[in-house]
């Protein structure tokens, strides 16, 4: 990892006295870079003064004073099938108990983990809202300072916490909403990333269902190329994120994340984008279709297809209200020309603060507020790309892996220790490329890209509920339905 320089480094943070710690980018410059980037990149030397940089598991354990959090327990195994959250078991435990278990101490000390051999299982306290984790001590939320990246007022309240053991992982998926900033606190995580234009090669699915998460059917670290041959065409990008670094994940980039140290701690925040207003309509339509078909298939076993993060009801009436709420919010937003406030809503006439962006459900009573909040000035993804993004020791591009190694575990990855500031054509191609239309290849779905993963032989033409859903919730279909609904709603207003 690069050391903190006495001067501004690759950015324009300005100079200072010899030995003074100066960040390479001002908040304004950091946000300008984020709005211009069309590829993942790692920021270095931007968080050395954040109090949260000391939030290793021991520190967090003291802050939480014995509070229990939920861990997802997965099996350490080599398999061609992704280990979705619906396949895991769950344990409620303190961080002291997690620390004892991950260090291999006795079963009596490990408590709730005593039934899990840490040589065979991994544990992941994933996607924990910091606002909920520290509901009894909200002052510590100020220890996360996203304002350094150009987002005034954004801190731990709009962030989530991730604590994992060796091997803990998140299945490959893309996030429907926003872009992502990830701060690595303890240990290292390896990120496998794929661009939006490779969506068809990742074999997307909405089962298991989770709002704003589109999963891949492919285990990207051990792919089944017999069932998913198109995956060979996907362009993998890899990077190992070290403590003190912040990874930027652009909108709709696929990612698989794995802990490669005994203990890892990360903090992330999803940054709202202008496009999210429309995407919420598409997500509401998808939710209704998935819930209707899967609940009808087996109404007594939602655990088989509904991610544990989806705690809201799945009944038809609620989903109808959800669609209407999303459409109303979008139309009102379009009318007033204002950006939806990221965390503040009027619900039933009562002001309240909601959870961070990614999993936040749009309440059926939500309406866009005309008054700007301190969070209003957010990245929209529509800014003109910079002529030259200042890649160097303080901003590391995540480069594509070699094509002939794309399906191997030991493939090349971005190594921040070997990258130096470059100029010329190579860097120009990295930072000035036109943004590809979101999921453009998935919008022209060929038959083999939709059903080539089916285990059925031609002599067994059985179409399952999931096969039907893959077609119904295809981005091209959902986008058309959303446009028709908006047209119908607009016409009704004009009558």
Annotate 385-411 with DSSP letters as a single string.
PPS----BTTEEE-PBPPGGGTT-TT-
**Which pairs from 460-468 meet CB under 8 Å and 24+ separation?**
465/293, 465/294, 465/297, 466/205, 466/207, 468/293
For 267-300, write each residue's pLDDT tens digit. 999 999 999 999 999 999 999 999 999 988 887 8
Q: Which residues contact 435 (CB under 8 A, 6 or more apart)?
A: 38, 381
User: pTM here?
Assistant: 0.80
What is the Cβ-side half-sphere exposure of residue 400, based on CA atoms within 13 angstroms?
Answer: 13
Question: Which one of 224, 245, 271 terminates a domain?
Answer: 271
- Is 393 inside any structural domain? no
Look at 186-195, 350-359, 420-429, 485-494 and tell me which has the smallest mean pLDDT: 420-429
Torsion of CA 341, 346, 347, 353, to 10 degrees: 60
Residue 391 resides in a domain: no
What tens digit of pLDDT does each residue of 203-235 get?
Answer: 999 999 999 999 999 999 999 999 999 999 999
Same domain, 357 and 476: yes
First to last CA, the chain: 62
Same domain, 262 and 283: no
Distance CA 294, CA 244 (A): 43
Domain count, the chain: 2
Residues 184/144, Cβ–Cβ less than 8 Å: no
Q: At which of 239, 271, 303 does a domain end?
A: 271
Residue 403 in any domain: the answer is no
Residue 468, CB-side half-sphere exposure with 13 Å CA sphere: 10
Same structural domain for residues 300 and 342?
yes
Which residue, 423, 467, 407, is CA-closest to 238? 407
- Could you tell me if 217 and 453 are in contact, meaning their C-beta atoms sit under 8 angstroms apart? yes
Helix (H) or strand (E) holding 281: helix 276-297
Domain final residue pick, 271, 291, 308:
271
Domain CATH code at residue 105: 2.60.120.650
Q: What pairing do the DSSP bridges indicate for beta strands 189-194 and 254-259?
A: antiparallel
Q: How far apart are CA 71 and CA 105, in angstroms?
A: 18
427-472: pLDDT as tens digits: 333 433 334 344 444 443 444 444 444 444 555 668 999 999 999 9
Does pLDDT of 422 surpass 80? Answer: no
Tell me what pLDDT residue 490 has: 82
What percent helix, strand, coil does the chain show, rounded to 5?
A: 30, 20, 50
The C-alpha atoms of residue 386 and residue 395 are separated, in whole angstroms, by 14
């Amino acid at each position: 990892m690069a050391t903190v320089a006495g001067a501004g480094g690759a950015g324009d943070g300005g100079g200072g006295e010899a030995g003074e710690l100066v960040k390479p980018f001002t908040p304004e410059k950091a946000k300008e870079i984020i709005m211009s980037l069309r590829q993942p990149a790692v920021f270095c030397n931007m968080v050395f003064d954040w109090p949260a940089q000391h939030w290793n598991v021991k520190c967090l354990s003291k802050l939480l004073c014995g509070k229990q959090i939920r861990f997802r327990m997965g099996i350490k195994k080599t398999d061609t099938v992704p280990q979705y959250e619906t396949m895991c078991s769950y344990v409620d435990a303190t961080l002291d108990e997690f620390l004892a278990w991950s260090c291999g101490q006795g079963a009596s000390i490990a408590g709730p983990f005593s039934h899990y051999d840490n040589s065979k299982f991994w544990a992941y306290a994933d996607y924990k809202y910091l606002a909920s984790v520290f509901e009894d001590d909200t002052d510590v939320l100020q220890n996360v300072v996203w304002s350094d990246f150009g987002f005034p007022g954004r801190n731990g309240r709009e962030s989530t916490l991730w604590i994992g053991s060796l091997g803990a992982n998140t299945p490959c998926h893309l996030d429907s909403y926003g872009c992502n900033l990830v701060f690595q606190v303890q240990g290292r995580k390896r990120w496998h990333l794929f661009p939006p234009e490779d969506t068809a090669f990742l074999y997307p699915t909405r089962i298991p269902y989770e709002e704003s998460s589109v999963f891949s059917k492919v285990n990207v670290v051990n792919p089944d190329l017999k069932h998913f041959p198109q995956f060979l065409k996907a362009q993998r990008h890899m990077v190992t994120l070290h403590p003190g670094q912040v990874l930027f994940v652009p909108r709709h980039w696929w990612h698989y994340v794995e802990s490669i140290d005994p203990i890892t701690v990360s903090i992330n925040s999803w940054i709202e984008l202008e496009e999210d207003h429309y995407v919420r309509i598409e997500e509401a339509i998808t939710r209704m279709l998935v819930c209707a078909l899967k609940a009808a298939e087996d109404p007594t076993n939602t655990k088989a297809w509904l991610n544990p993060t989806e705690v809201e009801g799945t009944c038809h009436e609620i989903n109808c209200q959800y669609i209407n709420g999303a459409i109303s919010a979008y139309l009102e937003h379009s009318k007033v020309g204002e950006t939806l406030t990221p965390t503040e809503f009027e619900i039933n006439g009562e002001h309240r603060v909601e959870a961070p962006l990614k999993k936040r459900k749009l309440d059926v009573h939500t309406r866009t507020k005309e008054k700007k909040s301190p969070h209003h000035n957010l990245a929209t993804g529509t800014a003109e790309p910079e002529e030259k993004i200042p890649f160097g020791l303080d901003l590391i591009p995540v480069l594509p892996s070699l094509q002939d190694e794309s399906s191997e575990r030991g493939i090349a990855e971005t190594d921040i220790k070997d990258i130096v500031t470059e100029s010329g054509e190579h860097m120009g191609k990295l930072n000035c490329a036109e943004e590809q239309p979101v999921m453009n290849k998935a919008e022209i779905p060929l038959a083999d890209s939709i059903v080539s993963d089916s285990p059925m032989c031609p002599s067994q033409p059985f179409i399952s509920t999931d096969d039907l859903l893959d077609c119904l919730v295809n981005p091209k279909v959902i986008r058309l339905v959303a446009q028709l609904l908006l047209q119908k709603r607009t016409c009704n207003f004009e009558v």
